[in-house]
Amino acid sequence: MNTFSIAIHGGAGTLVKGMMTPEKEIEYRSALKNALDGGYQVLENGGTAVDAVEEAVKRLEDSYLFNAGKGSVFTAAETHEMDASIMDGESLNAGAVSLISGIKNPVSLARDVMDKSEHVFLAGDGAMEFAKNNNHAIEDSAYFYDEFRHKQWIEIKDTDSFQLDHAKKKDSKFGTVGAVACDQKGTIAAATSTGGMTNKKFGRVGDSPMIGAGNYANNETCAISCTGSGEYFIRGVVAYDVACLIEHKEMSLAAAATEVISKRVLKLGGDGGLIAINANGEISMPFNTEGMYRASKSSNGEEVVSIYK
């Protein structure tokens, strides 16, 4: 049997130790552990990597702590616009959604785009119509309301260069969530889900739903889920770049992932991190920020739940 394993993230950023209360830290760690265990259980029961990453990401989306699903940040119009994607490393099938609102679990909608449509990427009203046709749970705005997120928005709502600020001030936290998994058969998968950036407008879309940028999976190389300043991750085609270094330069998973995050993304000016897995169940979780909410678990007995460097 193949070594099976899973890794998850809840976003990277300037997570300075001491700025978080011990109670909050316990809450974050237990939310990460809950998502990790949910995904791992799928793998342990012989389930597929795609099922495992969907389960883990759903659990993160259901937590108010992370910027995805329930905890999504506010847009400039005081609404929520969510993006998500999922990819199967065996078939290279993929599904993605963008600019959707009210959907409880965007990752499951992306999964349905992959499994039940002829397409890869649906956005906006069309994606919402597809969601209704496929009976996805819709929640009202009260479900997505969080006082802390609302305060974050109030602070910058009258500015419009929020994205630049975000990158410049280096005091930002990216709460996007993601999971990568390798199942008992050695198939890998990746899923990513986000509310994007606070105060975003003009239909701004980040890297998270873009196959190759924020999310990618191919059994031959790796499965990747990213978090960070999306514009840079799009321009760096980050997830696919890691796969390219493995395929064309024959780099190890850890060397390729670190090269992209610590050198290439930094050179562009971007900050963030990623989680990576390969078909041997190996895991790498590099980031170039102060911290990244992350966790991993493998059938060889290794388990990690971590926030800071």
175 counts as binding ligand ASP under rule CB under 6 A: yes
The nearer residue to ligand ASP, 217 or 275, going by C-beta atoms, is 275
Residue with tokens 């879309």: 205
Candidate residues 69, 89, 95, 196; the one interacting with ligand ASP per rule CB under 6 A: 196
Map the footprint of ligand ASP across residues 22-81, applying CB under 6 A: 67
Burial 89-98 (b: 16+ CB within 10 A, else e): bbeebbbbbb
Q: What whole-number distance in Å separates Cα of residue 247 and Cα of residue 232?
A: 22
> Following DSSP, what letter does each residue of 142-206 receive, concatenated?
HHH--HHHHHHHHHHTT-S-HHHHHHHH---B---EEEEEE-TTS-EEEEEEE---TT--TT---
Which residue's beta carbon is nearest to the bound ligand ASP?
230
Which positions ≥6 away from 190 have C-beta within 8 Å?
53, 86, 87, 89, 178, 179, 180, 215, 216, 217, 223, 224, 225, 239
270 counts as binding ligand ASP under rule CB under 6 A: no
Candidate residues 4, 7, 8, 11; the one interacting with ligand ASP per rule CB under 6 A: 11
Q: Which of 3, 21, 48, 176 is catalytic?
A: 176
187 is catalytic: no
The nearer residue to ligand ASP, 114 or 234, going by C-beta atoms, is 234
174 counts as binding ligand ASP under rule CB under 6 A: yes
Binding characters for ligand ASP, 130-169, by CB under 6 A (x = yes): ----------------------------------------
99 counts as binding ligand ASP under rule CB under 6 A: no
The nearer residue to ligand ASP, 49 or 292, going by C-beta atoms, is 292
10 counts as binding ligand ASP under rule CB under 6 A: no
Residue with tokens 């759903």: 58
The nearer residue to ligand ASP, 40 or 293, going by C-beta atoms, is 293
The answer to whether 11 and 173 have CB atoms below 8 angstroms apart is yes
The answer to whether 238 and 226 have CB atoms below 8 angstroms apart is yes
Candidate residues 48, 108, 199, 208; the one interacting with ligand ASP per rule CB under 6 A: 208
The answer to whether 226 and 239 have CB atoms below 8 angstroms apart is yes
Map the footprint of ligand ASP across residues 216-235, applying CB under 6 A: 227-228, 230
Residue 68 beta carbon to ligand ASP: minimum distance, rounded to whole angstroms = 8
274 counts as binding ligand ASP under rule CB under 6 A: no
The nearer residue to ligand ASP, 75 or 176, going by C-beta atoms, is 176
Which positions ≥6 away from 253 have C-beta within 8 Å?
222, 246, 276, 277, 278, 282, 283, 284
CB atoms near residue 302 (< 10 Å) = 12
The nearer residue to ligand ASP, 61 or 90, going by C-beta atoms, is 61
Residue 97 beta carbon to ligand ASP: minimum distance, rounded to whole angstroms = 13
> Following DSSP, what letter does each residue of 33-61 receive, concatenated?
HHHHHHHHHHHHTT--HHHHHHHHHHHHH
281 counts as binding ligand ASP under rule CB under 6 A: no
Active site residues: 176
Residues near ligand ASP (CB under 6 A) are 11, 67, 174-176, 194, 196-197, 206-208, 214, 227-228, 230, 272
